[in-house]
Structure 1
Amino acid sequence: MKKMKYNQALEELEQIVTEIENEEISVDDLAEKVERASKLIEACKGILSKTEAEVEKILKGMEGEE
């Protein structure tokens, strides 16, 4: 998956969920949409983990400055 921003991935994921809930996706396309949703969820998890690690590093650095 190319470099995607968290908000972009979340927006696309929400769109897929809405389509599924509203039964706008044909049975033929359902597996493809679920697979895409799975990839988007993994991308969001990765972005969140990376951001959490960066924030922790910054906060530890600030503690050392006191």
Structure 2
Amino acid sequence: MTDSSSDQPGYADALRELDAILRELEGSDVDVDRLADRVTRASELITMCREKISTAQVKVEQVTTQLSAADTP
């Protein structure tokens, strides 16, 4: 896992897991007993990915603001 600050997977790992869940759910042999668990996990991963994107966006905006401020005399 790429995020050592918690037990959450990194963004790329989460996307891979989401892809695996999607393939599993699209398959013809979906295990109905696991269906709700897989959908719940997918929801958790989507939420986590959105949070990571939002955090990255804020950081990028901070850096670009700092760079712009450094360019102005």
With the length of structure 1 as denominator, give the TM-score of the two structures. 0.92
Q: For 2:28 and 2:52, how far apart are their aligned partners in 1?
A: 30
1:10 pairs with one of 15, 19, 37: 15
Structure with higher Rg: it is 2
2:27 pairs with one of 14, 19, 22: 22
With the length of structure 2 as denominator, give the TM-score of the two structures. 0.84
Give the unaligned 5+ runs of structure 1.
Answer: none
Give the unaligned 5+ runs of structure 2.
Answer: 1-5
Return the offset for 1:22. Answer: 1.3
Q: For 2:47 and 2:29, how far apart are their aligned partners in 1?
A: 24
- How many residues are matched? 66
> Relative contact order, CA 8 A, sep 6+: which one is greater?
1
Return the offset for 1:2. Answer: 1.9
Give the aligned CA root-mean-square deviation in angstroms: 1.3
2:57 matches 1:52:
yes
Which structure has the highest helix share of the two?
Answer: 1
Return the offset for 1:4. Answer: 2.0
2:48 matches 1:43:
yes
Q: Percent identity?
A: 33
